[in-house]
């Protein structure tokens, strides 16, 4: 997991030619991350609205390792 606000030196690990979906628990921090990534030139970046909590509430699949 990379925090674009804190881990700017790791942004080169994120492919710019693929869709990026950001997420956090509620969707608020990942919205900021989405904006930061877009400002750094990432074009296809989406935020998971409502975060992981909303995903679980909808009963969508979750894989646990």
**Catalytic residue status for 42:** no
How far, in Å, are 1, 14, 21, 36, 65 from residue 54 at the CA level? 19, 25, 15, 22, 21
- Catalytic hit among 4, 24, 30, 45: 24
Provide φ and ψ at 48, rounded to 5°: -75, 100
Which residues are known catalytic residues?
Answer: 24
């Amino acid at each position: 997991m990379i925090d674009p606000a804190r881990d700017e030196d790791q942004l080169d690990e994120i492919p710019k030619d693929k869709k990026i979906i950001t997420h956090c628990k509620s969707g608020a921090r990942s919205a900021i991350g989405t904006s930061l990534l877009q400002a750094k030139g990432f074009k296809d970046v989406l935020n998971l609205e409502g975060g992981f909590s909303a995903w679980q509430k909808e009963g969508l699949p979750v894989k646990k390792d």
